[in-house]
Amino acid sequence: MARLKGKRIVIVGGTTGLGYSAAECFVGEGARVILVGRNEANSSKAEATLGREVSRALVGDAREGKTAEQAIALCQDAFGGFEGLYHVAGGSGRKMGDGPLHEVTDEGIEATLSLNLSSMILSNRAAVQALMKAEQGGSILNMASTLGHFPSPQFFSTHVYAAAKSAVYGFTRSIAAYYASYDIRINTLAPGLVETPMAQRAAGDETILEFIKTKQPLDGGRIGSPVDFDGAALYFMSDESRFTTGQTLFVDGGWTVSEGQTPTGL
């Protein structure tokens, strides 16, 4: 039996990486999906690959409040309803001025928080408004990061990004408590290092890859693949999680329980 049969889900950040991998999984389990991405070419390709009978792609910036609202309205218009939001959008602020605190720029603070925190708050607001208006329950899944709780100062010192991802936990738990009586479940998925466009710097650094062998020791010690997260996302978006809210699941290859020895032994 398809585990998402009849579900209509919006994936913000759904045209590449973790979001698109989840979209393929969700469709395979019976869902219909709205994919939100900033790149028109990626959006068109994703919709064409999945097929318009089960998907629509919306080009938009998650940092703008209207984007999630439009995506949910499209879901309702195209597929007749809306049951879930998976917020994946975010990314490193390194190129925008994030880094070690003493080097962080004013622009880097604003840009990194907007990309990773404000965008999620906006999409979550649109989702709870829609679910409350429809007088139905539903599921929201937010993307955090292991770096929000388990730092790596030698290789991943982007302090504003860590602050934003740490805030995802607190925000999610707070709204999960508030909206539980509305039967709206809100949870968090926290990945380790995953092979996505954001991870290109790390994936091309041999020293970091050696570190990852012991920091994420599962399955031979490697960077995660987007498909490694599909099962967790599927659980949270399905009725199997109907009694689960305010929780964080770390899917990190062992990051949170491993020391991670660098080649120098530090």
| Tens digit of each residue's pLDDT (9 = 90 or more) over 104-113 | 999 999 999 9
pLDDT at res. 91 = 93
pLDDT of residue 259: 86
What pLDDT does 201 receive? 83
What pLDDT is recorded for position 121?
Answer: 98
pLDDT value of residue 204: 81
Check pLDDT > 80 for residue 262: no
CA angle, corner 2, sides to 246 and 241, nearest 5?
15
Distance of alpha carbon 238 from alpha carbon 242, whole angstroms: 8
Per residue in 168-180, pLDDT tens?
999 999 999 999 9
User: Which domains, from first to last, does the chain contain?
Assistant: 8-195+227-248 (3.40.50.720)
- Could you tell me which of 134, 122, 162, 133 has the C-alpha nearest to residue 146? 162
When the pLDDT of each residue in the chain is averaged and rounded to a whole number, the result is 95
Q: What does the alpha-carbon distance between residue 126 and residue 34 come to, in Å, rounded to a whole number?
A: 14
The 10s digit of each residue's pLDDT in 191-209 is 999 997 776 787 788 999 9
Contact 143, 18 (CB under 8 A): yes
Confirm if 226 and 20 have CB atoms less than 8 A apart. yes
Please tell me the predicted confidence (pLDDT) of residue 1: 81
Q: How confident is the model over 121-159, as pLDDT tens digits?
A: 999 999 999 999 999 999 999 999 999 999 999 999 999
Measure the CA–CA gap between 104 and 107, rounded to whole angstroms: 8
pLDDT 10s digits, 31-73: 999 999 999 999 999 999 999 999 999 999 999 999 999 999 9
Mean per-residue pLDDT for 158-163?
A: 97
Residue 235, pLDDT above cutoff 80? yes
